[in-house]
Amino acid sequence: MSPTRREFLGTLGGLAAGYALAPALRAAEASGKPLGLALCGLGNYSNGELSPALLETKNVKLVAVITGTREKGVKLAKLHGFDEANIYSYEQWDKVAANKAIDIVYVVTPPGVHRQNVIDAFGAGKHVICEKPMAISAAECDTMIAAGKKAGKRLAIGYRLHFDPYHQELIRLAKTQEFGPFMKIKSANGYTLRRNSWRIEKKLAGGGALTDMGVYSIQGVCMAADANPISVTAKELPKTQPELFIEVEQALEFRLEFANGAVADVWSGYDANRAELFAEAAKGWFKGERPVFSYRNLNISTSAKGKLDFGIFRQQQRHMDGVAQAFRNGTEVTCTGEVGRRDMVIIDGIYESIRTGKKVELKYS
């Protein structure tokens, strides 16, 4: 998920012109055949997780790439068996639009350019999956959602945990209230970052550990509460590497409050290796320990079932297959652009609370 700086700069030159939607595209979507997907951005996440998952998917297949480094595209073309003519630069959205084999563009570039990439993809007449966080502000999310509606195309966020059975169990417990409502929730997510990276450049990342790792805790907390928080109080923690974290926070803490009285205390940081999610109700609990938010081998238990074991699978395969099936069949997904926007409203509120030192009421409309 980390393209080179050259890829990022190339992205800025992308055009958002409204290209005509080929009628054959709608027919392909209705046929029941696998949809064609183009990866936009060929960093570590695309190559290390999405590409292997796309070798296993049934409802979607990799048919093209959009990249600033052609050599990366050539490798994927050979691996996935698509024509090297389907390797595009960030300036070639007109050619993306003309390629009827592409139904979906999966945007996997830094958050600072998600907005432009998504608008370009909608302009090319394609559905879009956008990697998390959706953007760097709720205002940018509004623009992206509006572009999708104008194009008549669907938008989903790369929230793989919505398709993960461990987190689906949390959602089930929250909705059925088998243990009662979860009233006390705690979460932490972060790792030790000691080198320079685009992730600590505000223009590219939008923020620090919060936008990279804290967004997982926000998702987990909202799953456990089965609701959106109504307010947030936050503080930035002292930096142990101020020479590295010049533009963004290294670590922070925040408390989310919910309308039913539930509270969630969350830590997110780049100065410790942590991954935790604990939700307590009157009659039971859900506990996730490191690596609760990771790609595989999750360590999750409940008071009723003990340690959960759902076998071996790829979250990314389940996510992309599920989203593609929904796009093809016109059915709903939970990882919508509106949910991505909700998380950005919360993130905006966290940063506002840090700036003002006050509790911030969260407004979603």
Which of left, alpha, beta for 54 (phi over 0: left; psi -120 to 50: alpha)? alpha
Q: 108-142 burial by CB neighbour count: b if 16+ within 10 A, else e? A: bbbbbbbbbbbbbbbbbbbbbbbbbbbbbbbebbe
pTM, entire model = 0.91
Residue 31, pLDDT score: 57
- Report the chain (365 residues): mean pLDDT per 10 consecutive residues: 40 36 43 91 98 98 98 98 98 98 98 98 98 98 98 98 98 98 98 95 97 98 98 98 97 98 98 98 98 96 98 97 97 97 98 98 96
For the chain, residues classed under CATH 3.30.360.10 are 161-303+335-361
Classify domain 161-303+335-361 at the CATH topology level.
Dihydrodipicolinate Reductase; domain 2 (3.30.360)
Residue 32, pLDDT score: 75
Amino acid (1-letter code) at residue 148: G
Residue 230, pLDDT score: 98
Class of the CATH domain delimited by 5-158: alpha beta
CB atoms within 10 A of CB 283: 11
Single out the residue of 226, 292, 304, 287 nearest to residue 262, CA to CA: 226
The answer to whether residues 98 and 106 touch, using CB atoms and an 8 Å cutoff, is: no
CA distance linking residue 150 with residue 17, whole number of Å = 12
